[in-house]
């Protein structure tokens, strides 16, 4: 790690910010429970037994319990037919106690991801991936019912760290449907001037060097060097990459898409990996579930 004296940047502590948001959510859930006798419900659907998916889902269920959101657990076998998964989704759509439905990705090869996600009721799409939610996110003057959790978390980290987005040059590295594309739309909505860097961009360094705000979501370990960062820029690192490290018991350590050591000497603000964006994604999922529940319960 860079010694504190070397590190000029303010470290954006995603864990601490997420914890603050969780306690705000817990207060609101208590209020709903006392006033209406109802609490938000989140259904988490997992297909098969991928270790990483299992651990994500475990984390989400634990987070629900912590803030008082009721968890509906749906575990389906790897070889479940697509039609069975879809009828399960329809069942959850019809359940009035479920306010959010999350289908853990990736799904097994024989299942059409797009088709399954499209079957989730728009009012319960707490992942924010329904084509209509993404479509509204892309349009001026329209608001989606839900914003995707990781991109929403990135903007929340900036705003709670006092970083203004309006009029700034923002560069998003990566164009995935889950992070890169929606986060660039959110930045645009917040009045930033947005460029997207991807695998076919001829000179990524040149664009990143001009950015007041960098959102790194390429999934490539330490691709963005410290020398690429404009002095004083805000850097949000979404990447989580395992690199070999024989000094660790596990044999590896997690690093971001940004060379943290070098970048924190130049940047104004930076998120660490792990502990930056990850905890925020779960906090935003809880926030979306609460918002979905309030729309129904407070009618």
Residue 105 is predicted with a pLDDT of 87
- The 3-state DSSP class for residue 259 equals coil
Scored b (16 or more CB within 10 A) or e, 141-163 reads eeebbbbbbbbbbbbbbbeebeb
Residue 53 is predicted with a pLDDT of 83
The answer to whether residues 97 and 265 touch, using CB atoms and an 8 Å cutoff, is no
> Which of the following is catalytic: 88, 104, 124, 237?
104
Residue 5 is predicted with a pLDDT of 57
pLDDT digits (tens, 9 = 90+) for 120-134: 999 999 999 998 999
* Each residue's pLDDT expressed in tens, for the chain with a length of 299 residues: 445 558 999 999 999 999 999 999 999 999 999 999 999 999 999 999 888 888 888 889 999 999 999 999 999 999 999 999 999 999 999 999 999 999 998 899 999 999 999 999 999 999 999 989 999 999 999 999 999 999 999 999 999 999 999 999 999 999 999 999 999 999 999 999 999 999 999 999 999 999 999 999 999 999 999 999 999 999 999 999 989 999 999 899 999 999 999 999 999 999 999 999 999 999 999 999 999 999 999 98
pLDDT digits (tens, 9 = 90+) for 267-297: 999 999 999 999 999 999 999 999 999 999 9
> Which of the following is catalytic: 60, 136, 152, 189?
60
Round the CA-based radius of gyration of the chain to a whole number and report it. Answer: 20
**What pTM was computed for the model?**
0.94
> Which of the following is catalytic: 88, 124, 125, 127?
127
- Assess whether 104 carries a catalytic annotation: yes
Residue 154 is predicted with a pLDDT of 98
The answer to whether residues 206 and 173 touch, using CB atoms and an 8 Å cutoff, is no
Residue-range domains of the chain with CATH: 37-123 (3.40.50.10860), 148-278 (3.40.50.720)
Instruction: List residues bridging with 241 in a β-sheet.
Output: 255
- Assess whether 287 carries a catalytic annotation: no
CA distances from 160 to 24, 217, 237, 247 (A): 14, 20, 16, 35
- Assess whether 259 carries a catalytic annotation: no
């Amino acid at each position: 790690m860079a010694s504190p004296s070397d590190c000029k940047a303010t470290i954006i502590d995603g864990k601490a910010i997420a914890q603050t948001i969780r306690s705000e959510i817990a207060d609101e859930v208590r209020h709903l429970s006392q006033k209406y006798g109802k609490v938000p419900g989140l259904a988490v659907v997992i297909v098969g037994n991928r270790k990483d998916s299992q651990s994500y889902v475990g984390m989400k269920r634990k987070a629900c319990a912590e803030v008082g959101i009721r968890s509906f657990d749906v575990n389906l076998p790897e070889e479940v037919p697509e039609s069975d998964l879809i009828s399960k989704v329809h069942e959850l759509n019809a359940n009035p106690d479920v306010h959010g439905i999350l289908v853990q990705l990736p799904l097994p090869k024989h299942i059409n991801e797009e088709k399954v996600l499209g079957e989730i009721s728009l009012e319960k799409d707490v992942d924010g991936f329904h084509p209509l939610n993404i479509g509204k996110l892309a349009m001026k003057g329209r608001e989606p019912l839900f914003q995707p959790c990781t991109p929403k978390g990135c903007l929340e980290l900036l705003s709670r760290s006092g970083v203004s987005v309006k009029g700034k040059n923002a560069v998003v590295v990566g164009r995935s449907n889950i992070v890169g594309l929606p986060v660039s739309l959110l930045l645009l909505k917040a009045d930033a001037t947005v460029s997207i860097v991807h695998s076919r961009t001829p000179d990524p360094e040149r664009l990143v060097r001009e950015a007041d705000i960098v959102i790194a979501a390429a999934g490539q370990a330490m691709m963005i060097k410290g020398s690429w960062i404009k002095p004083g820029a805000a850097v949000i690192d979404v990447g989580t990459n395992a690199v070999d490290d024989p000094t660790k018991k596990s044999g590896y350590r997690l690093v971001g898409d940004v060379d943290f050591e070098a970048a924190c000497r130049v940047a104004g603000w930076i998120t660490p990996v792990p502990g930056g964006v990850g905890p925020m994604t779960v906090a935003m999922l809880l926030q979306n579930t609460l918002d979905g529940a309030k729309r129904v319960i407070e009618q």
